[in-house]
Chain A
């Protein structure tokens, strides 16, 4: 069975500092991994995804994530935080399910960016 664990429900960084949001997963098959961002009162938006191939994945808004199979991790990073990055971030894993794919989301990490 799949599961996703996001370490830290809240992360606070200063503007310009490194952003690191942690995600660990468990999956019985090679996983498809995702990071989504949710701004206040909005739906989720895909930041980036890993399916196969290169383990370092680049996404929108300067974010990237690295798939590390040995550590079952898919941490999200951004070199320099911007005030507009303040949002809720969700890590997710998908695997094949009867008739389709089922996506399991982590509990989310709220990112605060201080001026």
Chain B
């Protein structure tokens, strides 16, 4: 059983399109995250939700809109895709929003390529 799963694994699309990435965790965790990893492997947090509430919202263009329909799901919708959005997007979850106490579990990533 996969703990944190993401779909799709690969996504190739053209500039200007709108796309969504889905994330699900079956660990019973309260907190979920989206990270972006660029071509140089630099990993940066985008959003964090705890019990479906947004708790971390980094400086991300408002073309990116996360949605958490329930604690087990955190989806990422991206409008008007740009070349610079090409990256690997990782979803993660943890039992609670306390990095000192709880490990983050990462999904396998979604490789987004914008052409």
Contacts and interface: CB of A to CB of B under 8 A. Distances in A.
Interface of A: 32, 34, 41-46, 49, 51-52, 88, 90, 94, 97-105, 107-108, 110
Contacts of A49: 103
Interface in B13-64: 31, 40-45, 48, 50, 55-56
B97 A99 contact: yes
Instruction: Using C-beta atoms within 8 Å of the partner chain, give the interface range for chain B.
Output: 20 to 34
Contact of A101 (B42, B99, B107, B109): B99
A44 B90 contact: yes
B100 interface: yes
Contact of A105 (B44, B103, B109): B44
Given A100-B48, A100-B55, A103-B99, A44 B106 contact: yes
A32 B100 CA distance: 6
Given A43-B108, A44-B106, A97-B56, A105 B99 contact: no
Contacts, number: 65
Nearest to A49: B103
Given A100-B48, A101-B98, A46 B43 contact: no
Contact of B45 (A42, A45, A52, A103): A103
B97 A101 contact: yes
30 contacts: A32-B99, A34-B99, A41-B109, A42-B108, A43-B108, A43-B109, A44-B90, A46-B104, A51-B100, A51-B101, A52-B100, A94-B100, A97-B56, A98-B55, A99-B50, A99-B97, A100-B31, A100-B48, A100-B55, A100-B97, A100-B98, A101-B97, A102-B45, A103-B99, A105-B42, A105-B43, A107-B40, A108-B41, A108-B42, A110-B41
B4 interface: yes
Given A101-B98, A108-B41, A43 B55 contact: no
Interface string B70-108: 000000000000000000001010000111110110111
